Amino acid sequence: MTTTAMNDGRRVGSERRRDRVQAAVDAAVRAGTPLTAAAIARAAGVDRTFLYRHRDLLDQLHAAAREPAGPAPANGPTVTLASLRADLANATARNTRFLARIQQLEKRLSRTLGEQIWRASGLGAPADIEELQRTITQLEQKTVELTAALEEREAELEAARAANRELTRALNQQG
């Protein structure tokens, strides 16, 4: 008989703990507090292993965790675990894009600042490179023109010298 009384006592104690766990789950859902096995076990005053030994209570806890927290909004969208996961995935993808853009902008800024410092130090090429290139081109063209004019004048001078020699020879022969 004592065994039956002990079994009955354990069963009643187990039922009380089950009721406390269910009450803790309901209270956590209403309050919007975290629905974890540790939090519910602590609120119900039971060990976490009690939840794992009573699989139906653990399933009830997980089902409550998947439901939206608090009362459903009258005119807004319902928040579910799936929608929160989708939002998280979207935010992660957006953060990845932002990180890539930030790195791109940092490289561009670094390159621009480096060029400015290089020019300011006097070690880099002057800012008016195009103007200098145009001047070089003009000077090269002028050099070509002057070289051609010089060659033409030298040819004329050589012709004048040849004519002068002929005249000098002709004068020497006459006289």
Instruction: Name which residue leads in pLDDT, 81 or 4.
Output: 4
Predicted structure pTM score: 0.40
Burial class (CB in 10 A: 0-12, 13-18, 19+), 28: buried
3-class SS string, 31-82: HCCCCCHHHHHHHHCCCHHHHHHCHHHHHHHHHHHHCCCCCCCCCCCCCCHH
Give the per-residue pLDDT at 32: 80
Give the per-residue pLDDT at 4: 86
pLDDT tens digits, one per residue of 72-84: 555 666 777 778 8
pLDDT tens digits, one per residue of 77-136: 677 777 888 899 999 999 999 999 999 999 999 999 988 888 788 776 666 787 888 999
Give the per-residue pLDDT at 97: 95
Instruction: Name which residue leads in pLDDT, 143 or 37.
Output: 143
SS3 content of the chain, % helix, strand, coil (to 5): 80, 0, 20
Instruction: Name which residue leads in pLDDT, 103 or 31.
Output: 103
Give the per-residue pLDDT at 11: 87
Give the per-residue pLDDT at 71: 56
pLDDT tens digits, one per residue of 47-80: 888 888 888 888 888 888 877 655 555 566 677 7
Instruction: Name which residue leads in pLDDT, 118 or 144.
Output: 144
